Amino acid sequence: MSSPETAGSALLNLLGFLPIELESLVESMGAPGYRGRQLADWIYKKDATDLRRMSNLPRELREELATRAFVGVPEIERRTPSADGSEKLVFRLEDGARVQSVLMPDGDRLTLCVSTQVGCGFGCAFCYTGTMGLDRNLTAAEIVGQVAGVTRALSPGQRLTHIVYMGMGEPLANYAATVKSLRLLTDPLAFGLSPRRITVSTVGLVSGIERLAREGLRVNLAISLHATDNATRDRLMPVNKGFAIEELLAACKRFPLPFRQRMTFEYVLLADVNDSRQDALRLARLLKGIRAKINLIPFNDWEGSAFSRPPLPRILAFQAALLEQGITATVRWSKGEDIGAACGQLREAVPA
């Protein structure tokens, strides 16, 4: 499994450098640290990629930077619009690998779903992305590059309001790059987004959740649960054999939630597998003591899947059972189903 930290070349991709790292870089070239902050302003605020045209930097510094580094934003190779207003974007990376992002408008919100890996190695039975297997991790530059690439492709007056790490891959299995990308997105001198507008989704890697709890990032956490007993979750999500439900929920209870924030639990509804009233009542009991909300996701079909979506009355009955128990539960009808961009549908060919 390859991991091109310099995006396939000997040059450094400055898009993956924190502002404080840019300061250190220019200081190593003999320039004062404030030149690094100017460089960050060009990259993250002015969306500039040509180092030689960053006019308030000394010419000598610009020339030296151009011999050692570049600002690489992944290329949007394909854009596919959905009837519901969402859009699937395929990014081509430096080594020819491809990942997908999904742009989802909803009233005054504009959310981008980003990927953290080429493929996914966790093989959840209901997820089409998991049939790819894992090719490699993305670098921090490739993760935030999806944000930068989409931002420059937006129409005038549009701006991203929310970021969700729910695309291809498991964010906490690419821990270092995920955390660095989160720091880039929330650093006031970089992308400057509010942590409250960023959500990281995980299949339930307890060790990663515990590490993330110590980072002080204050981003939202979403847990892919999808079952209320270990036998069912073992069958749906092989990760459960390493981190059982009880261990996962114990880690969730220890996770430091900022004031007024709740942890999201994602639950894909699969006909005759995990959609009974008994499942709903068990789910309510499991989440007792956690400041939680539940996103119920009716299964999004894909060719070759062994699962199906429950009928609408059964979906609504499941939601009603949770509401009766005082649990906040919403049905999340995934956007982009008609273009293969809905939850669990993302897949791209891995280059030979």
Q: Which domains does the chain have, with CATH numbers?
A: 12-70 (1.10.150.530), 75-339 (3.20.20.70)
Exposed (0-12), middle (13-18) or buried (19+): which is 234, by Cβ within 10 Å? middle
Closest to 168 (Cα-Cα) out of 202, 134, 117, 203: 117
Dihedral (CA of 124, 127, 131, 133) sign: negative
Residue 197 is encoded by which pair of tokens? 């507008």
pLDDT at site 334: 60
pLDDT at site 5: 44
pLDDT at site 182: 98
pLDDT at site 85: 87
Q: How far apart are the first and last CA of the chain?
A: 12
pLDDT at site 351: 46
pLDDT at site 335: 53
Beta bridge partners of 264: 222, 293
Residue 174 is encoded by which pair of tokens? 């690419």
Alpha-carbon gap, residue 64 to 58, rounded angstroms: 10
Q: State the Cα angle at 345 between 339 and 346, rounded to 5°.
A: 85
In the chain, which residues have pLDDT < 70? Answer: 1-9, 334-352
Q: Are 139 and 174 in contact (CB under 8 A)?
A: no
pLDDT at site 112: 97
Alpha-carbon gap, residue 139 to 181, rounded angstroms: 9
pLDDT at site 332: 87
Q: Are 22 and 34 in contact (CB under 8 A)?
A: no
Tokens 């993250």 map to which residue? 44
